[in-house]
Chain A
Amino acid sequence: MSSTLETCEQKVHHHLSIIQKRKNLNAFLHTFEEEALQQARSIDKKIQEGKAGSLSGMVIAIKDVIAMKGKLLTCGSKILQNFESLYDATVIEKLRNADAIFIGKTNMDEFAMGSSNENSAYGSVKNPIDEARVPGGSSGGSAVAVAADMAATSLGTDTGGSIRQPAGLCGVAGLKPTYGRVSRYGLVAYASSFDQIGPFAKNCKDIARVLQVIAGHDEKDSTSAKIPVPNYLSAMNRNVKGLKIGLPKEYFNDALNSEVKNAIEKSIETLKQNGAEIIWVSLPHSDYTIATYYILATAEASSNLARYDGARYGYRSPNVKTLSEMYTKSRSERFGAEVKRRIMLGTYVLSSGYYDAYYKKAQKVRRLIQKDFFDAFEKVDCILTPSSPTTAFKLGEKVEDPMQMYLSDIYTVSANLAGIPGLVIPVGKDSNNLPIGLQLLGKQFDEATLLRIGDFLESV
């Protein structure tokens, strides 16, 4: 962003004008023009008085799956079209206290289920670099908001890659923190043992600044960890000497596009030349991650989405006579095809007679996948992979084939299965000028090392 924008008010005007100009990208579901400008003016005053918080006027966009008091919360679904949040999510409260400015809420795949943002009930989001292509999903709107400079940073959520895959496809930085690092209070649940909130930004420094604010234990989320939050910015020392970086041999196979591979190898070479030690490692259960993920995540989703029954909030089908009709019709008339498909699959794997064969089996394999990472981290400080096997694909290309769509998350789901952090940064472009993303996976609660390496790669 240009340095000629001095005040927060100017920054907000700048971003609002781009949101307006690039409306066709469909990145936002709601914008807060007046409120953002008001907030900006009050923070400008605070800055003058030397009283502004640590984010002092950082303009941020929020994925529409995170609750903001008094604002619509649609989750990209028609079933919550008119739903208004009654409270702020913990991350919102913390960002507000740090003087971030909320510019609007971003489009997303319905209930965060998707890898292309084509599952939003409010229309697809387009990739700002090539509008015939997808931005990735499910946090596509949040990735595009940052990539197209509609906001300085944004929040997304990552259940199987939903921050990292779109960050890679749009050419911005995106972090999925360790499970439990950031409170999920006020985040609408998709798959509770996987979901995690994290930031998008143009660089790792801003990722660190946002993470610093949103990380930490929250008494309102019993799965948030009571582990001290380090100073992320001070860990960025522009030095990778002596760091041991692992390359999983299973991730560098034939499925990987050669241009993506070349860009990743160039970054590896840079790290090597600057004193990092590159070591091949093995994650032997990599072939089983997608299967394990789609059993467990859909099982959790089928249970979490049972709450949308038309009784207490959300859409209720008119002209229903019985309670059971109210449930079935309200859900069937407003859930989209992918959400229904996942509820069906999840219900099936949990149903009588199949629980052990699918759900329990997948929980066991999840243990093996996590152990692969723990074993690898005995030898290395972090693991480096591509973020996706290809660059951004075309809108419509995978819509009819759910299995192909699921496979686009092949390098990202493992972090959610293992509960480890993952950072994606842009490291180049392919011959179509499409961004290529590099992923760093770290030990649980060691986001600092990932940000240190990411910041280093950005600097060279």
Chain B
Amino acid sequence: MSVTLKDVEHIAKLSRLEFSENEKEKLVHNMNDILKHIEKLNELDTTNVEPLSHVIELQNVMREDETKQSLPVEEALKNAPSKEESFFKVPKVIG
């Protein structure tokens, strides 16, 4: 499989990224290089292989439902680019 300029534009939209025409062309080239290498995996028959998502045996972690102190609001807002009262402020969402 390989990607076209149109694919790159679509993926950019999904990734919330934008690129110049020049950058897009470079991306088509770079991504196809990498995808070509990735094609290698098709040499392997993995029909009966279970996908691996955790490399060590993990167990579900439970704890008592106790109230613990969390970050104070002022602290949590410390790195906010824009804030008002106890809220993060962003551009208007609904017109």
Contact = CB atoms under 8 A, between A and B. Distances in A.
Nearest to B26: A337
B21 to A, nearest CB: 14
B30 A341 contact: yes
Given A364-B46, A417-B55, 10 more contacts: A179-B56, A180-B55, A223-B58, A294-B34, A310-B81, A360-B51, A361-B46, A363-B53, A368-B44, A419-B56
Contacts of A321: 91
A363 B51 contact: yes
Contacts of B34: 294, 345, 402-403, 406
Contacts of A312: 79-80, 88
Contact of B11 (A222, A290, A347): A347
Contacts of A302: 15
Contact of B41 (A288, A328, A401, A417): A288
Interface of A: 82-84, 86-87, 178-180, 193, 219, 222-223, 225, 285, 287-288, 290-292, 294-295, 302, 306, 309-316, 320-329, 331-332, 335, 340-341, 343-345, 347-348, 351, 354, 357-358, 360-368, 370, 401-403, 406, 417-419, 444
Contacts of A403: 33-34, 37
B40 to A, nearest CB: 5
Contact of B3 (A180, A348, A418, A444): A348
Interface string B29-57: 01101100110111010100111111110
Main secondary structure of the interface of A (DSSP, over half): helix
Nearest to B13: A328
Contacts of B55: 179-180, 193, 370, 417-419
Contact of B37 (A291, A306, A351, A365): A291
A219 B34 CA distance: 38
B91 A326 contact: yes
Contacts of A345: 31, 34
Contact of B40 (A288, A332, A406, A444): A288
Nearest to B27: A344
B56 A347 contact: no
Nearest to A404: B33
B91 A323 contact: yes
A313 B58 CA distance: 32
B78 A193 contact: no
A259 B27 CA distance: 36
Contacts of B38: 291, 294-295, 358
A227 B40 CA distance: 37
Nearest to B46: A364
Residue among B75, B90, B93 facing the most chain A CB atoms (10 A cut-off)? B90
A180 B11 CA distance: 33
6 contacts: A223-B54, A294-B38, A320-B91, A322-B91, A347-B14, A364-B46
A337 B86 CA distance: 35
Nearest to B7: A348
Contacts of B82: 316
Contacts of B79: 82-84, 86, 312-314
B46 A287 contact: no
Contacts of B19: 332, 340
A313 B27 CA distance: 28
A367 B51 contact: yes
Interface string B68-95: 0001000110111110000010111100
Contact of A364 (B18, B31, B49, B78): B49
B17 A328 contact: yes
A111 to B, nearest CB: 14
B18 to A, nearest CB: 5
A225 B55 CA distance: 11
A328 B75 contact: no
B10 to A, nearest CB: 8
Given A363-B53, A368-B46, A368-B49, A314 B81 contact: yes
A225 B41 CA distance: 31
B63 A343 contact: no
B5 to A, nearest CB: 13
A310 B41 CA distance: 37
A361 B30 contact: no
Contact of A315 (B81, B91, B93): B81
B46 A331 contact: no
